[in-house]
Amino acid sequence: DRIRTLDMPYEEQVELSKAVTDALGDVDKKYFGVYHKETGAFSGYNFVHGSKAWQDLTGKKPPIEVTGDDVKTVSAADTLKDTIKNQKGSITIESGSYPDLVSLSRNIISQGHDTFKKFRTELKRQMAEVWEKVKRLARALFSAAKKPLEGERGGVTLERKAPKKAAVPPTPPQAPIEKDTGFDEEKDIWIGNKDEQVLRNNAEAINLQDSIKEALGKKKYDKEAQDMDKAIHRYLDLKRNPKHLKEFYGEIPKEQQRIVDIVKTIDQNPKLKQIADTISESYKQIGQIALDEGVIFNVLDNYVSRVWKVRKTKAGQPTDLLQKFKTTSRHAKHRVFETVLEGMAVKDKEGNHVFSLQIEGATNNLNALKDEIARTIEDKHLIDRLKVQEHEDTGLKVISHIQHEGYDWIEHPNFVYWQYIGTVEGGEIKDYYTTADGRK
């Protein structure tokens, strides 16, 4: 980390970092020997110095001397791989080995593997035996490793800095080299941050599902646990209008009536009620985060995520009822249906139910919403950074509201600015739906 603060070209920083790393490795071998694969003891390479150093540093007796050729140097990666092998399932950011993976990633980047492609290749090489367990974390690790350590004095990122220009003799003309505008670096951070938050959201959903299992005395997230998950979603949604339980109960499908019957048992189980309260609080927190980040413009009390799925008519087209669902996001200010039960009660002329939920359970609905907001926030952050970042060749901003020569207009809603121009009356703000073939 100190090397990165030196006033020297980036490439020289990398070379110096490698040299220091090698030197430290030589010191370890000289004073502590190398590790014996079978016995777990140190070899006798300069053992006299090793014994003294061991006693001086630890105050303990030196390890037994081992001679012979059956030795190997133990790296941090080897130790970490052994730890990961003993952990069940894939590694997540909640796993105990995650901080060690971040430390390993910092080391990999400091050795010159400073683009995501290079980093992933080297990480895969070092973690080959446990790659299937850690590969999903690659981008999150890359992003985390490029951030300064929390509380680190003088901590800096590993972003490239342009070296100072020095007088050099003229060189013959060379083929033009494609320069990095900096976008690749921003892209890696952008993707890494999104992936990291998605992993956190997945971990939260799994923990909540485990809590539901425990509250029901279950060992598996079976049908009973899944039904309770659905019931918790209805339980929270009905807080918007408790009267809808009685008003629409007789109009919803029989299967949904069964789920609603389970809703009535939640208040009788303190553990289940606590789970519901936890999910509700998580909705409030993510809503406030989204509001602070400017990706939504208001929050609703007792908000619960819902994505509607619509049944097609015999003609293959959505019913006229879909005219209520024209042009807005599901985070709009007002909803067509105040509660899920109200939507599920809607029928067409033939008496068939029209709307159902794309995602049924409370845990997965929360997860889907948090993933969507996380991606939207990181998209916004990327755009904001590119508005101030200058192109290395031209000095112009990478993204600008001015169409400079060679610039193209970006036709995408995320690049549209909204400004207050006055007050209007009326107007419809609608929810959004997902058709049977997955179109939104």
pLDDT of res. 332: 40
pLDDT of res. 168: 44
Domain boundaries, the chain: 3-157, 190-305+363-368
Q: What confidence tens digit (pLDDT) does each residue in 255-267 have? A: 999 999 999 999 9
Q: Of 152, 76, 75, 142, which Cα lies nearest the Cα of 105?
A: 142
Question: What integer best gives the mean pLDDT of the chain?
Answer: 72
71 pLDDT higher than 50: no
**Average pLDDT for 93-121:** 85
Rounded CA-CA distance 397/410 in Å is 14
What percent of the chain stands above pLDDT 90?
A: 23
Tokens of 429: 């703000």
**Average pLDDT for 229-235:** 96
230 pLDDT higher than 90: yes
Helix, strand and coil in the chain, % to nearest 5: 50, 5, 45
pLDDT of res. 40: 39
**Average pLDDT for 333-358:** 85
Q: Is residue 247 exposed (0-12), middle (13-18) or buried (19+ Cβ within 10 Å)?
A: middle
Rounded CA-CA distance 198/370 in Å is 8
215 pLDDT higher than 70: yes
253 pLDDT higher than 90: yes
61 pLDDT higher than 70: no
What percent of the chain stands above pLDDT 70?
A: 59
423 pLDDT higher than 70: no
42 pLDDT higher than 70: no
Rounded CA-CA distance 190/379 in Å is 7
Between 135 and 158, where is the model more confident?
135
Rounded CA-CA distance 194/378 in Å is 6
pLDDT band at 48 (very low <50, low <70, confident <90, very high): very low
- Are 225 and 303 contacting, i.e. CB atoms less than 8 angstroms apart? no
Among 38-52, 260-274, 398-412, 418-432, which range has the highest average pLDDT? 260-274
pLDDT of res. 213: 95
pLDDT of res. 218: 93
pLDDT of res. 340: 93
pLDDT of res. 155: 42
Between 62 and 271, where is the model more confident?
271
59 pLDDT higher than 70: no
Rounded alpha-carbon distances, angstroms, from residue 401 to 183, 381, 404: 18, 17, 9
**Average pLDDT for 26-32:** 49
Q: What are phi and psi of 41, to 5 degrees?
A: -105, 170
Q: Is residue 232 exposed (0-12), middle (13-18) or buried (19+ Cβ within 10 Å)?
A: buried
DSSP label at 76? Answer: H
pLDDT of res. 414: 58
* DSSP notation for 339-378: SHHHHHT-B-TTS-B-EEESS-SHHHHHHHHHHHHHHHHH
Strand ranges across the sheet with 65-66 = 65-66, 42-43, 35-36, 71-72
Q: What confidence tens digit (pLDDT) does each residue in 364-410 have? A: 999 999 988 888 888 877 777 777 777 766 777 777 777 777 777 77
pLDDT of res. 11: 63
SS3 37: coil
pLDDT of res. 17: 67
**Average pLDDT for 51-61:** 44
Q: Of 419, 417, 398, 416, which Cα lies nearest the Cα of 408?
A: 398
57 pLDDT higher than 70: no
Q: Of 185, 197, 196, 18, which Cα lies nearest the Cα of 117?
A: 185
**Average pLDDT for 59-81:** 56
pLDDT of res. 437: 45
Strands 355-357 and 308-310: antiparallel
Q: What confidence tens digit (pLDDT) does each residue in 150-203 have? A: 444 444 333 434 444 444 444 444 444 344 445 666 667 767 777 778 888 888
Range with the poorest average pLDDT among 105-109, 195-199, 328-332: 328-332
Q: How many helices and strands, by DSSP H and E, does the chain display?
A: 14, 7
Q: What are phi and psi of 362, to 5 degrees?
A: -65, -40
112 CB neighbour count, 10 Å cutoff: 17
Between 349 and 400, where is the model more confident?
349
Range with the poorest average pLDDT among 282-291, 323-332, 405-414: 323-332
- Return the amino acid letter for 272: L
Between 49 and 198, where is the model more confident?
198
38 pLDDT higher than 90: no
- Are 189 and 144 contacting, i.e. CB atoms less than 8 angstroms apart? no
